[in-house]
Structure 1
Amino acid sequence: MDIIRSKDFTGTQAWDALDIASMNGITTRLHWTDQPYKWHVNDGAEVFAVLDGMVRMFYRENGVETSVDLAAGDIFYASVGTAHYAHPQGEARILVIEAEGSV
């Protein structure tokens, strides 16, 4: 058993991660970042939950680029094939649940 206080986790570089669990090929990781990630498409679906901070999520749907601001408590679900990238507005802590080894 572990208790993780997400607000206490700080990485040494953008997108550092604390591996929390790997269950049946699905990983759960806590990320700390203060820098944007790159445009990417995951190998499978991804659940992206903002635990602390604010993240502007850019994504493409039917060839149209749009964005949404995600605050603490908000969840973004990227289905298979959804191109997206996250741009934190300052420091953010994010819980990511995805297939093991996904981009």
Structure 2
Amino acid sequence: MRTIKPKNFTGSRAWEALDVETIDQATIRLHWTDQPYKWHVNDGPEVFVVLDGAVDMYTRTNGEEKIHILNVGDIFHAQDGDEHVAHPVGIARILVIERAGSV
């Protein structure tokens, strides 16, 4: 057993992750970042929970971009094929649940 305090986790680089658990084919990871990720499409669903800070989540559908403003406690859910990129506003800590080995 262990207790993880997200506010105490700081990475040495953007999107550094602390692996929490792998359950069946899904990974649960705590990410620390102060930089945007990259535009990507996961090969399965993704659940993205803001634990600390704020994130502007950009999505693109049929060439049209939209921004979803995420604050502490907000959950973003992307289905397989949904194009998106996370832009933290300052430092953010995020819990991500996705298929193991996903982008």
Which ranges in structure 2 are unaligned for 5 or more consecutive residues? none
Q: Distance in 1 between matches of 2:76 and 2:61?
A: 14
Structure 2 length as normaliser, TM-score?
Answer: 0.97
54-63 vs 93-102, which moves further: 54-63
Report the residue type matching 1:45 in the other structure.
Answer: P
Runs ≥4 residues deviating over 6 A:
none
Q: Distance in 1 between matches of 2:44 and 2:34?
A: 25
Structure 1 length as normaliser, TM-score?
Answer: 0.97
Shift of 1:95: 0.2
Partner residue, 1:64 = 64
Tell me how large the CA RMSD over aligned residues is: 0.7
Deviations 1:25-76 (A, max 9, x none): 1000000000000000001000000000000000013432101110000000
Report the residue type matching 1:93 in the other structure.
Answer: R
Aligned residues: 103
Partner residue, 1:15 = 15
Partner residue, 2:41 = 41
Q: Distance in 2 between matches of 1:99 and 1:68?
A: 23
Partner residue, 1:26 = 26
